[in-house]
Amino acid sequence: MPDMEDVKDDVLSEAESAIEFLANVHAAEAWSTPTDQDLDDFGEVYIIADFGGEIAVNGDYYPDYDKIPPVPRGFVFTRRGGRVPTTEEEISLEHVIDLVARELGLREVVVGEILQEEYGELIYRSIDGETEFYVPKGKGDE
What tens-digit pLDDT sequence spans the chain (142 residues)? 456 777 899 999 999 999 999 999 999 999 999 999 999 999 999 999 999 999 999 999 999 989 999 999 999 999 888 899 888 999 999 999 999 999 999 999 999 999 999 998 889 999 999 999 999 998 766 5
Are 138 and 78 in contact by the 8 Å Cβ rule? The answer is no
Query: Hey, is 136 helix, strand or coil?
Result: strand
Return the CA Rg of the chain. 19
Beta partners for residue 134, in sequence order: 46, 77
The whole-model pTM stands at: 0.88
